Amino acid sequence: MKKIFSIVTVIALIITLSACTKDTHRFYISAMDTIIEAEVRDTKKNANKNIKVIEDIYLTYHHLTDNFRDLPIDSAFKTNIYAINKRPGEKIEIDFELYEILAKAEEYRILTDGYFDVSIGKIIDVWKEVIQSEDWLEGNDITEAEWEELVRKIDEIEVQENAYTLFHEDGKYYIKLKNDQVKLDLGAFAKGYATQKAYEYLEKNKVKNFIIVAGGSSIYLGENAKSEDKQFPVGLINPNRQKNDGRLYGEIKVKNNSITSSGNNEQFFMYGDIKYHHLISTKTKYPMHYYHSLTMVTKDAGFADAITTAIFSMSPEFLESWVERVRETYDFEIIIFNYDNTIDTRYMVDTEFELR
């Protein structure tokens, strides 16, 4: 479930940090089917060490959560999501890192009353097949026959209760998928989770000035050494823009926080004048049409990745009651670009927001 963010803003952020000191070091890696960019302000020796650790973090979760490819032959890991999905009903030993991320995904499924669920990969695949179809990508609307085939396939798949079981025995960790209706897909969570791990490493090593950009969908910002208030200006892209249009609808200022945005304008197709996007409700098995985009500011990038996906399918009424229920335990702020093009900032408390 790909997220959106303003690439114009990302470039501006990188330039800001690069200009501040000769001890700023940048790196890029290809992982999780995107480009991870990071900059760290430190001595060359420390920066090289930090960058290597961050790279290893992303590559670890790239291999473990990949649901398109098996592990490399020389991998030290036991198995990954791709291999697990091929063995429903079997008890499979997994690495602790994979056990940990799946346990966290289950925690967020419970927290969101099931609106976040990594077990609906088969349903996501049906929607992506149409979204990524050659006809649609070439600018042609899908046909009535294609729509009816999509509906038929969706109707055949049931969302499973307790779709997988995690357990450990004698110091080993295991998973068991309930049945062949279950397909795990961590695409809505893995990049944010890895970004949080990278941030926690930098925090532990007292690195204050940094930027991490995980494909634009999950961003973590430390302190801006060039700014007196240590904050980075972050532009929020207008979801109604045309492709390659950097038009913004607002700006926030952030330090020592993650920013994640989910939106309906990057992966979608049109049918009957309705935009069917890639953020699928676990309740209806279809995309919902309450919002154009959601942006979350919070300390936990993994939480933000999962929860913005869940919120996108919640009605405004359910969202309001849900926020009231969880805000005392989880600290986050949300900017909502509604389907009627109004901007809702009532869940913003500390972060400065300016309408553009």
Helix axes 144-155, 121-131, angle to 10 degrees: 170
Over residues 33-52, the mean pLDDT reads 88
H helix runs in the chain, sequence order: 7-18, 44-65, 81-85, 96-111, 121-131, 134-137, 144-155, 190-204, 301-311, 316-326
| Longest CA pairwise span in the chain (Å) | 61
Q: Is residue 73 part of a domain?
A: no
Model confidence band, residue 44 (pLDDT cutoffs 50, 70, 90)? confident
1 — pLDDT class (breaks 50, 70, 90): very low
pLDDT band at 290 (very low <50, low <70, confident <90, very high): very high
60 and 143 part of one domain: no
Q: In terms of domains, do 32 and 111 share one?
A: no
Looking at the structure, tell me whether residues 234 and 100 fall in a common domain. Answer: no
What whole-number distance in Å separates Cα of residue 268 and Cα of residue 206?
Answer: 41
CA 83 to the chain's CA centroid: 22
The confidence band for 9, taking pLDDT boundaries of 50, 70 and 90, is very low
Highest mean pLDDT among 19-33, 68-82, 240-254, 256-270: 68-82
Regarding whether 33 and 106 lie in a shared domain, the answer is no
Q: State percent of the chain over pLDDT 70.
A: 91
Residue at 186: amino acid letter:
L
Inform me whether the pLDDT recorded for 124 exceeds 60.
yes
Model pLDDT, residue 279: 94
Range of the domain at 139: 81-177
Q: What's the mean per-residue pLDDT of the chain?
A: 89
Confidence of residue 242 (pLDDT cuts 50, 70, 90): low
Task: Say if residue 159 is in the same domain as residue 218.
Answer: no
In the prediction, which pLDDT does 2 show?
40
| pLDDT (tens digit per residue) in 327-340 | 989 999 999 999 99
pLDDT greater than 90 at residue 17: no
- 6: confidence class by pLDDT, cuts 50, 70, 90: very low
Name which of 49, 55, 2, 6 is nearest 28 in CA terms: 55
pLDDT in tens, 172-205: 999 999 999 999 999 989 999 999 999 999 999 9
| 58 and 104 assigned to the same domain | no
279: in domain: no
What is the mean pLDDT of the segment spanning 96-115? 98
Residue 109 domain-assigned? yes
Partners of 296 in the β-ladder? 260, 334
Residue 18, in any domain of the structure: yes
Q: What is the pLDDT of residue 4?
A: 39
Computed from CA positions of residues 260, 19, 210, 255, in that sequence, does the dihedral angle turn out positive or negative?
negative
pLDDT tens string 302-349: 999 999 999 999 999 999 999 999 998 999 999 999 999 999 999 999
Q: What is the mean pLDDT of residues 127-138?
A: 81
Q: What is the pLDDT of residue 68?
A: 93
Instruction: Verify that 86 and 54 share a domain, yes or no.
Output: no
- The residue from 147, 177, 207 where one domain ends is 177
Neighbours of 80 (CB within 10 A): 24
**Residue 258 shares a structural domain with residue 222:** yes
Same domain, 92 and 169: yes
Residue 225: how many other CB atoms lie within 10 Å: 17
Query: Per the structure, how many domains does the chain have?
Result: 2
Asked if 173 and 191 sit in the same domain, the reply is no
- Based on the fold, state whether residues 248 and 343 are members of the same structural domain: yes
12 pLDDT exceeds 60?
A: no
**230 and 311 housed in the same domain:** yes
Query: Does residue 223 lie within any of the structural domains?
Result: yes
Determine, yes or no, domain membership for 71: no
The predicted structure's pLDDT at residue 244: 58
Residue with tokens 């992966």: 267
85: domain CATH number is 1.10.3980
φ and ψ at 266, to 5 degrees?
-105, -45
